[in-house]
Amino acid sequence: MDMLSTPFALYPANVAAWIPGFSWGVWLPYLIGALVLVIGLITGRSEFLQKRGLDKIVVLGPVFFAVALAVFGTEHFTFSTILAGMVPAWLPGHMFWALFVGACLIAAALSIAARKYAWLASALTGVLILLFVLLIHLPNVVGNPHTRISWVVVLREPAFAGGAFALAATQEGGWKPQTRHAFATLARFLIAIPIAFMGVQQCLHQELSPGVPLIKSTPLWVPAHALWGYVTGAIYVVIAMSLLLNKQVRRAATWLGLIVLLLVLLLYLPIVLANPADIANGLNYLADTLLLCGAVLALAGIRDQNSSYEM
């Protein structure tokens, strides 16, 4: 139902091959993502300038999260027919749901970036992503229990939902302290468990591009390309244990967010720049990893007196 859910590479044909040259189908997600990025940077510039060290990176977490949401939401309109086909068969109006979800994701991205009703938008986004898990991904796992990618997707989505709930936990104006604490605790588990799973997957399949271990292999131009899967996997597992044990959560999430951001900048951004028209193997992987980065940094942005969120 959404571009958060299933990478284009899982379809029988490469969607990029359907795009004759450069068109709105290629460029609109970039443009909307760039617009949300600019809005987020302008809105958060004062806080960014006030922070020091790694806290500056943490401030950018909601912006990264919003940009990725905007990209995926826009693809609901540029690839609406494909996404309508992902809607469960028992739901009527497949095209309506594809477009409606896209509009919701874009609206949430704008709200989070502009910091207007972000407390509500982030919580609703978390609920929406969990609905994707229940309605789409769990049935896929039941139907294909021996397919590795089905398990990666169904355990990846809760990390994104956790990022949305972490954002909700940082919005003091919209929720009571008890509710923010509940969001913070839920976010920590929803992020930690998928991170541990992805870490194990990276170690078992070290040839896969680090970040979110889907089906794309690490490019051969990356020095010691097979090594990075082991390194990323080990880091993921260690940090996941810290999150699960509620020890140094803020510090662990901050460093993990920084590592994932470096993967976005040093690995996936060059892939996109080399061939921006290849949405399946370029932009979607970049946005997927950026969404994970934003989710983890959102967790790092929580200051919960009842938990170990100190730096």
pLDDT digits (tens, 9 = 90+) for 167-207: 999 987 778 889 999 999 999 999 999 999 999 999 999 99
In a domain, 134, yes or no: yes
In a domain, 199, yes or no: yes
In a domain, 305, yes or no: no
Per-residue model confidence (pLDDT) at position 23: 75
In a domain, 306, yes or no: no
* Contact (Cβ atoms closer than 8 angstroms) between residue 212 and residue 204: no
Average pLDDT over residues 239-243: 97
Average pLDDT over residues 282-287: 94
**pLDDT over 50 (residue 12):** no
> How does the average pLDDT of the chain come out, rounded?
88
Burial label for 197, CB within 10 Å (0-12, 13-18, 19+), is: buried
pLDDT digits (tens, 9 = 90+) for 13-61: 344 434 445 577 788 999 999 999 999 999 999 999 998 888 999 999 9
In a domain, 310, yes or no: no
Per-residue model confidence (pLDDT) at position 311: 39
**pLDDT over 50 (residue 209):** yes
Domain that holds residue 58: 8-300
Per-residue model confidence (pLDDT) at position 17: 39
Per-residue model confidence (pLDDT) at position 6: 53
- The tally of domains found in the chain comes to 1
Average pLDDT over residues 224-247: 93
